[in-house]
Structure 1
């Protein structure tokens, strides 16, 4: 098992404290709480990378579409795809139902059950299609939609050894617009500098107001900070979390 989050070179930094929670996800509506250390998140990112690389046969330069809200599983998918050297297209929730140049075909697509239920949603074409269940534990189980595979079930069959990076270069494209891994790191570090975020800090994010993973995921990880994702939280609940969760900075 690895003590740092596996990802493509120059994208994320090692966390300042590996034994504490690197990523916390809290759903105020359901009471769900998930605390992941760097090793935990690293394991799931490595499993995701192995699913894409070994399970799907994808290689650096292949494309993945991610239609997921900020969530701990979304972090695992994104870091795993980048660790495998793939080009990742992220579609925010605000663009649901909007067709465009990013509608594929892709080599793989990840979509949440909630988003898949929307009659407005346009899911890009892809050779491999995964559904991600972001419902809290204990929710009534649902059948996997035809043509899709369940992400957690599939990723859980793969090992958690970090992938080899020899075929992934910092200058490779990490997104369809040609932005490289190194450029994403520079962007993330720039946002961190604007926030005054540094190693050992903890960034709180209201997931209803911030969708872009470069901010809620890459920005804190690029400087060795941790992140608290708060879902379904009103202003009072969010303020309470900021006060009680050792938060040093708030996004937005």
Structure 2
């Protein structure tokens, strides 16, 4: 049984590296981004290398991820885990070693104490920001400078995976995700359409499907009139709205 988030993700990629693992829709912008296991793994590796080689973080450090559900959020959360770091997904501001935020959460991010701040516009085609906010580095531009493969020390099941109001080890985070997958009816081989408005928690929209062995169709600003056709196009077997 897989007991760490990096193990769970590696298994998801190994099952079918070229198949869509996470497909992103935003009905407010018309954005559609499809990531195979290989492509998402590339972003995860680049992110882990950015955190370790670029920011200089070490095992056990904490990274704040003040971001909505999005494929880039998935890459960041999985990259943080791969690097042996703990992800703080929000709550009361805390001192952290680095922070990543979207433009809509800059006000909340201002209260967090850290010297290393990154912003992303979550733009279609992973476009960079025209002008990053003052005091922030553009995540999309910076991450592309880092290697496609990450060679870090193995993560221990007892290491912190999630920080903040509720701290979970990797083993506990994986167990919680497995429980949520069972509650939501997510099974191995499923292709799950998930409305971010109804399931904003990363355990639900990311970790539970990965632990169960499912692939994800993640939809923001979901237009209900498009759900049925999208489910057919994407060969969805379970819809969570």
TM-score, length-scaled by structure 2: 0.89
8 Å CA contact retained: 2:128, 2:138: no
Residue equivalent to 1:170: 157
In 1, Cα distance between equivalents of 2:99 and 2:128: 24
C-alpha displacement of 1:135: 2.6
8 Å CA contact retained: 2:48, 2:79: yes
In 2, Cα distance between equivalents of 1:182 and 1:81: 16
Aligned ranges for residues 1-252 of structure 1 at < 5 Å? 8-9=6-7, 13-15=11-13, 16-91=15-90, 102-116=92-106, 122-137=110-125, 141-166=129-154, 168-176=155-163, 177-252=166-241
C-alpha displacement of 1:162: 2.7
8 Å CA contact retained: 2:121, 2:129: no
Higher relative contact order (CA 8 A, sep 6+): 1
C-alpha displacement of 1:81: 0.3
Give the helix-richer structure, 1 or 2. Answer: 2
8 Å CA contact retained: 2:64, 2:99: yes
Residues 150, 202 of structure 1: alpha-carbon distance in 2 compared, 3 angstrom cutoff: same
TM-score, length-scaled by structure 1: 0.85
Q: List gaps (5 residues or longer) in structure 2.
A: none
Q: Secondary structure at the match of 1:19?
A: coil
Aligned residues: 235
| CA root-mean-square deviation | 2.3
C-alpha displacement of 1:43: 0.5
C-alpha displacement of 1:88: 0.8
